[in-house]
């Protein structure tokens, strides 16, 4: 398959995997991507020809640079000694001890290759470790330890992998030369990374002083930075590009935090772009893993040294070795910490096991394994390459499955499970350093008087609706009701998303009952219009069919919810067929449309009247109904009345101008609401930042639409 078509296919599969993960919430998205990759390999015979040089440059460089950019500075900095010990000493122990154990238990794999395999399996996915560790409520010091370690161990694991791989390829290993080379490539890589990022930052500062401060230009420059640094370190200085990009990322993050106030737009856009890049790269790596599985499996099955069941058993052996080393290390760390300070958490085998299971292997491991050459220095085939690839892939899958399956049982609750490149949080927030790592839901549990993000969004949207109502006049009613209806839809979505199933059911039942009452009022009004001769039989029948379809959709939603996307598709097809029937009807279509609008006005007024009469009945308790649901329904019908008015003397430009003015006023009310919530202590600074960011985006979009309208 041509490279362009392959890239497009992989990008589409990444998107598909995240759509599927929305419905298959118990399965990590990385496993879904592996499954999709396996599917296209088997069904479409897709193959990926990997080249070591560009694979490390394209995938490793940007992902490790981004890890450096996310390097924490506060609590984790206090544990820097333990974190660096975990990231270096634990990786060294895993590489040497794990390599020897793998060689002893799987003798077909040479010692050098076993050490290389253990080295590349030592890095853990930082996002997965963070999300899982928070979910199982690890002690604070252990959480910071494993989270910080996972941000750094990629570099040390890749360096160890490189040396072990070189020994396997050349067949020789001189300890003194290896130690000297290690210090050279590490220290020179560190120096090159720090020097180059400093030069790049200086160039950026000079360009900004010269007036070249375009956001897009600066973002592109930042995106190209890790590729340039990795290439220069590897090709010009023959040092470690891995160390160089990590060091550059950390320094760029420290320097960038000082310019956040000077260039907030650049900071926000940069974070979004990096999220997209890591999202795609991580997904593509796991898709390639799935695509390569048949190749590795076939080579392993056809190999003479082992059978399939034995290869699967080898995967479990290697995973068990890595797990035991990690659990033992965590337990010893807790014991030493407790012996120095008895106020710290006592050593616990359960906590150590949780910490060990949270060490999910991810994209860096797979990216490194793909760089194993097919031949060694003398021209022979690389020893047990297929088996090593099979074991590495298997350990990644087993670590994901065990974390998703075993950890919830040990923690007695469902857990968040994200990996590098997971979708952004549902509110689209950019998480920057200095934020509390716990989300607002957890904060709200600790401080009951505080609003969650969704609750605060609902509050400020209600203020916006109230503001629009205050500025509603006869001349701008149509624009006002359109805006109010849009705000009400947002409120309803947030209310539904923030409710549990038990809380949601009575609310939906009440809303459905109100809608049925309103539809009954519409039907009765249409029949009276037909009886009084105010409309034709054809017009009345067409409108009554619309009422029947709306009732049918309500009934289907109550008894067979289905997927919202499928219901939307059916609704779109239904409306299309209705328009086609009107177009094909051998009568004056303009006359029929005018009749439909007249019926819509009368029926909508009748629906509001029916709701009012229903709530006044003695057997009905008005307080039982959700006021937002009732208000939303009334606004819906008022909007239908306005849109059906025959006299539309208002031009499109005047309508848009009225809507823009009302929206600007409502955004001001939203800003005032955020400030009130913040000053009263009902929201945190992080929540206020997210709310203001959302308001700013809405205001920028409003201005952008206005500019486009002026250009037209």
Share of the chain above pLDDT 90, in %: 7
The dotted CATH code for 49-275+312-411 is 1.20.1530
Per residue in 534-575, pLDDT tens? 888 888 888 888 888 888 777 766 554 444 444 445 555 665
Categorize the per-residue pLDDT at 643 as very low, low, confident or very high, splitting at 50, 70 and 90. confident
* Burial bucket for residue 470 (CB in 10 Å: 0-12, 13-18, 19+): exposed
Check residue 707 and give its pLDDT.
59
Q: Determine phi and psi for 260, rounding to 5 degrees.
A: -60, -40
Is it the case that residue 711 has pLDDT exceeding 60? no
Task: Find out whether 355 and 407 touch, Cβ atoms under 8 Å.
Answer: no
User: Average pLDDT, stretch 286-294?
Assistant: 83
Most confident listed range (173-187, 239-253, 569-583): 239-253
CA dihedral 706, 708, 711, 712 (to 10 degrees): -100
For residue 191, the model assigns a pLDDT of 93
CA distance 337 to 367: 35
> pTM of the predicted model, to two decimals?
0.66
Round to whole Å and give the CA distance between 276 and 256.
19
Domain segments of the chain as ranges? 49-275+312-411, 438-475+653-712, 499-648
pLDDT, tens digit, for every residue of 43-54?
Answer: 888 877 766 667
Using only the alpha carbons of the chain, give its radius of gyration: 31
Residue 488 makes CB contacts below 8 A (sequence gap 6+) with 465, 628, 631, 632, 635, 636
Q: What is the pLDDT of residue 549?
A: 83
**Nearest-angstrom CA–CA distance, 510 and 493:** 16
Does residue 590 have a pLDDT over 80? no
At residue 654, does pLDDT exceed 70?
A: yes
Indicate whether 291 pLDDT > 60.
Answer: yes
DSSP code, position 375: B
Of residues 473, 453, 493, 490, the one with CA closest to residue 665: 473
User: What region, left, alpha or beta, does residue 681 occupy, with left being phi > 0 and alpha being psi -120 to 50 degrees?
Assistant: left
């Amino acid at each position: 398959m041509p490279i362009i078509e392959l890239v497009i296919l992989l990008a589409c599969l990444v998107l598909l995997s995240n759509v599927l993960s929305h419905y298959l919430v118990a399965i990590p998205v990385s496993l879904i991507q592996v499954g999709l990759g396996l599917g296209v390999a088997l069904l479409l015979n897709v193959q990926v020809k990997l080249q070591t040089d560009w694979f490390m440059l394209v995938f490793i460089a940007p992902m490790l640079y981004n890890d450096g950019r996310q390097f924490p500075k506060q609590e984790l900095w206090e544990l820097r000694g333990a974190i660096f010990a975990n990231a270096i000493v634990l990786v060294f122990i895993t590489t040497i001890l794990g390599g020897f154990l793998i060689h002893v238990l799987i003798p077909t794999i040479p010692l050098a290759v076993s050490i290389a395999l253990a080295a590349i399996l030592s890095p853990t996915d930082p996002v997965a470790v963070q999300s899982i560790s928070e979910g199982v409520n690890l002690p604070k010091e252990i959480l910071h330890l494993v989270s910080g370690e996972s941000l750094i161990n990629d570099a040390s694991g890749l360096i160890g992998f490189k040396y072990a791989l070189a020994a396997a390829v050349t067949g020789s290993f001189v300890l003194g030369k290896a130690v000297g080379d290690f210090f050279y490539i590490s220290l020179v890589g560190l120096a090159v990374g720090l020097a180059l990022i400093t030069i790049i930052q200086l160039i950026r500062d000079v360009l900004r002083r010269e007036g070249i401060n375009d956001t897009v230009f600066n973002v592109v420059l930042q995106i190209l930075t890790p590729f340039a640094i990795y290439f220069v370190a590897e090709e010009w200085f023959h040092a470690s590009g891995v160390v160089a990009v990590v060091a550059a990322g950390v320094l760029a993050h420290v320097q960038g935090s000082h310019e956040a106030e000077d260039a907030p737009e650049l900071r926000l856009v940069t974070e979004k772009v990096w999220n997209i890049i890591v999202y795609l790269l991580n997904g593509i790596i796991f898709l390639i893993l799935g695509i390569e599985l048949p190749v590795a499996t076939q080579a392993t099955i056809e190999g003479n040294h082992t059978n399939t069941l034995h290869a699967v058993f080898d995967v479990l052996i290697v995973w068990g070795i890595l797990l035991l080393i990690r659990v033992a290390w965590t337990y010893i760390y807790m014991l030493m910490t407790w012996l120095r300070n008895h106020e710290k958490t006592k050593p616990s085998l359960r906590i150590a096991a949780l910490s060990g299971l949270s060490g999910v292997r991810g994209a860096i491991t797979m990216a490194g394994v793909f760089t194993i050459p097919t031949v060694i220095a003398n021209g022979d085939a690389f020893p047990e390459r297929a088996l090593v690839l099979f074991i590495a892939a298997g350990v990644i899958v087993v670590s994901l499955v065990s974390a998703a399956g075993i950890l919830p049982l040990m923690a007695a609750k469902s857990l968040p499970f994200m990996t590098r490149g997971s979708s952004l949080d549902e509110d689209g927030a950019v998480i920057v350093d200095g934020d509390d790592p716990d989300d607002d839901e957890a904060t709200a549990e600790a401080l009951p008087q505080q609003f969650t993000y969704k609750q605060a969004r609902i509050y400020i949207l209600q203020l916006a609706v109230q503001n629009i109502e205050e500025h509603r006049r006869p001349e701008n009613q149509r624009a006002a009701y359109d805006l109010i209806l849009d705000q009400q839809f947002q409120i309803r979505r947030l209310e539904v998303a923030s409710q549990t199933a038990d809380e949601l059911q009575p609310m939906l039942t009440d809303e459905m009952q109100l809608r049925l009452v309103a539809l009954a009022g519409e039907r009765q009004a249409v029949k009276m219009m037909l009886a009084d001769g105010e409309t034709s039989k054809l017009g009345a029948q067409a409108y009554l069919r619309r009422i029947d379809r709306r009732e049918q959709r309500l009934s289907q939603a109550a008894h067979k919810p289905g997927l919202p996307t499928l219901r939307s598709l059916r609704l779109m097809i239904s409306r299309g067929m209705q328009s086609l029937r009107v177009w094909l009807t051998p009568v004056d279509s303009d006359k029929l449309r005018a009749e439909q609008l007249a019926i819509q006005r009368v029926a909508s007024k009748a629906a509001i009247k029916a709701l009012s009469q229903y709530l006044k009945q003695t057997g009905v308790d008005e307080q039982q109904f959700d006021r937002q649901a009732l208000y939303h329904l009334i606004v819906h019908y008022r909007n239908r009345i306005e849109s059906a008015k025959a006299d539309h003397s208002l031009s499109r430009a005047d309508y848009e101008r009225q809507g823009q003015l009302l929206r600007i006023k409502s955004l001001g009310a939203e800003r005032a609401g955020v400030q009130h919530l913040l000053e009263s202590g009902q929201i945190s600074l992080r929540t206020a930042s997210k709310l203001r960011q959302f308001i700013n985006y809405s205001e920028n979009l409003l201005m952008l639409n206005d500019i486009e309208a002026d250009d037209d």
